């Protein structure tokens, strides 16, 4: 299932939203402040990937581990203990963004969205002693430190996006309802996708404090201290 969002042109967005209050939010678990001195946090998690790689695109239960420099996903805890090659491995130095989102299609709850340059990983721990916010804070801090080490510049929390979605920009999509009938006849919406065909295809729509940014897929953070990302990798939609 996909959601249609209109910002002067139509884009198809992988269904996800801002975090909501979980029914289990009252469960007492350890927070980020309890992770001091901890080298690894791990546990079972509901896990999904976009673009979809699993059969029928279903979320599955995997064992996830957050190390100081990388994120590992194994099929089982036994595989992780036996040091088998992980099914997925993400270097925090290559992470594009990390955020907490509500994923209603596969995870069906609040979860962590970890994006590398081309792939998005969604997971929600199910048996961890740490709460979801602690996992997010831990990963964000590891990502910030690894990005700083790799790019040889200071990295601040502000350069990470509040939310980011994988989107596909298409021209004149076929909609279930004709929304043009609700518009005033004298108002004509220009199709930006027709005027700028280079925008067509897979992109990432990111939200920061004051604007929406549309990024090319595969882009990486810049070593430039004054600009976290090169200007030729995104378009400001605000």
Quick: pLDDT tens for 142-192: 999 999 999 999 999 999 999 999 998 888 777 666 666 665 555 566 677
Q: Kindly state the DSSP code that residue 42 receives in the 8-state scheme.
A: E
Based on the number of CB atoms within 10 Å of its own CB, is 90 exposed (0-12), middle (13-18) or buried (19 or more)?
buried
CATH topology of domain 2-16+32-158: PH-domain like (2.30.29)
Q: Count of CB atoms within 10 A of residue 48's CB? A: 24
196: left (phi over 0), alpha (psi -120 to 50) or beta: beta
Global confidence as pTM: 0.80
Mean confidence (pLDDT) of the chain: 83
Bridge partners (DSSP) listed for residue 124: 46
């Amino acid at each position: 299932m996909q959601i249609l969002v209109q910002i002067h042109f139509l884009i198809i967005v992988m269904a996800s939203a801002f975090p909501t209050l979980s029914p289990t939010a009252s469960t007492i678990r350890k927070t980020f402040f309890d992770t001091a001195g901890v080298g690894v946090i791990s546990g079972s998690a509901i896990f999904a990937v976009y673009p979809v790689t699993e059969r029928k695109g279903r979320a599955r239960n995997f064992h996830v581990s957050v190390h100081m420099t990388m994120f590992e996903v194994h099929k089982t805890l036994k595989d992780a203990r036996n040091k088998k090659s992980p099914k997925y491995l993400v270097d925090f130095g290559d992470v594009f963004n990390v955020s907490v989102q509500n994923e209603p299609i596969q995870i069906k709850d609040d979860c962590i969205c970890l994006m590398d340059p081309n792939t998005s990983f969604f997971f929600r721990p199910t048996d961890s002693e740490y709460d979801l916010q602690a996992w997010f804070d831990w990963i964000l801090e590891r990502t910030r430190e690894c990005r700083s080490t790799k790019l040889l510049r200071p990295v601040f929390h502000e350069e990470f996006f509040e939310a980011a979605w994988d989107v596909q920009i298409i021209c004149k999509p076929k909609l279930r309802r004709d929304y043009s009938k609700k518009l005033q006849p004298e108002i004509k919406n220009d199709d930006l996708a027709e005027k700028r065909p280079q925008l067509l295809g897979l992109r990432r729509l990111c939200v920061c404090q004051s604007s929406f940014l549309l990024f090319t897929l595969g882009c990486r953070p810049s070593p430039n201290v004054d600009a976290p990302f090169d200007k030729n990798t995104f378009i400001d939609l605000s």
